[in-house]
Amino acid sequence: MDCPSFLQGRLDQMLRCLQTPLDKLSIGNCQMLTHSDLTHLFQYPNLRQLKSLHLFRLSLADFSLEPLRALLEAVAPTLQDLRLDNCGIWGTQVESILPVLSRCQQLRDFTISMNNFSVATVEKLLRHTARLCNLELELYPVPRECYRIQGIINEERLAQIRAELKAILRELGQPRTIYLYGKCCHTCGNSNVYDVAFS
């Protein structure tokens, strides 16, 4: 659902109207949701059987991901699709969800693109998802070390980092392909996707 402004501060009221457990939840374009809204959302009991959780274009930069971690822990046995794209998440925030992420054994699709991550954060994510045997799609942001000051990708640096990530995939020892999603180009409006594969 795209979030209209009237939901700001009232998301818990809407959630109380839901009578049956949800297996899919998609929320996007909700820059105005408050910390209270998001905490209520992540603690709502009828989300405990989620198979699919999509959060996109939310503003989570100043938000503790602890409530999200608690939700992921509750849905770890059922969750198949997790998308946290363009949510303003920083690498330091991701630390809180890493351990529970590795317990989502049913996870098939995991995308966390268009967030502000370093190479170290992407490496940690790769290690914590390494034993998820059902994982088919992994989409991460191009690490911030790959960008010049103007927001343009430094192709030489990107090639080095792709080689580093490939070495990590090799070290983890399982055939795997991940994708790195670049920021939208200010000039042409396009985004590039780069693969990193070990087979």
pLDDT value for 55: 92
Reduce the secondary structure of 100-156 to three states and give it as a string: HHCCCCCCCEEECCCCECCHHHHHHHHHHCCCCCCCCEEEEECCHHHECCCCCECHH
Contacts of 77 (CB under 8 A, 6+ apart): 105, 106
Coil/strand/helix, residue 179: strand
pLDDT value for 151: 80
More reliable by pLDDT, 73 or 41: 73
Q: What is the mean pLDDT of the chain?
A: 88
More reliable by pLDDT, 151 or 92: 92
Percent of the chain with pLDDT strictly greater than 70: 92
- pLDDT category of residue 185 using cuts at 50, 70 and 90: low
pLDDT value for 196: 96
Measured at the CA of 78, the angle between CA 8 and CA 43, to 5 degrees, comes to 30
Report the predicted TM-score, pTM, of the whole model to 2 decimal places: 0.91
Q: Are 149 and 122 a contacting pair, CB within 8 Å?
A: no
For the cut 90, the answer to whether the pLDDT of residue 150 exceeds it is no
Q: Are 121 and 129 a contacting pair, CB within 8 Å?
A: no
Q: Are 133 and 108 a contacting pair, CB within 8 Å?
A: no
> Which domains are seen in the chain, by residue range?
51-65+76-198 (3.80.10)
Give the CA radius of gyration of the chain. 17
- pLDDT category of residue 117 using cuts at 50, 70 and 90: very high
- pLDDT category of residue 183 using cuts at 50, 70 and 90: confident
More reliable by pLDDT, 130 or 152: 130
pLDDT value for 10: 67
Here the tokens at position 136 are 């088919």
Q: Are 31 and 8 a contacting pair, CB within 8 Å?
A: no
- pLDDT category of residue 187 using cuts at 50, 70 and 90: low
More reliable by pLDDT, 86 or 149: 86
CA-based max dimension of the chain:
53
For the cut 90, the answer to whether the pLDDT of residue 61 exceeds it is no
Q: Which amino acid, 41? A: L
pLDDT value for 22: 87
Helix-helix angle 66-75:35-43, to 10 degrees: 20
Percent of the chain with pLDDT strictly greater than 90: 60
More reliable by pLDDT, 102 or 19: 102
Instruction: Say how far apart CA 55 and CA 74 lie, in whole Å.
Output: 17
Measured at the CA of 135, the angle between CA 130 and CA 140, to 5 degrees, comes to 75
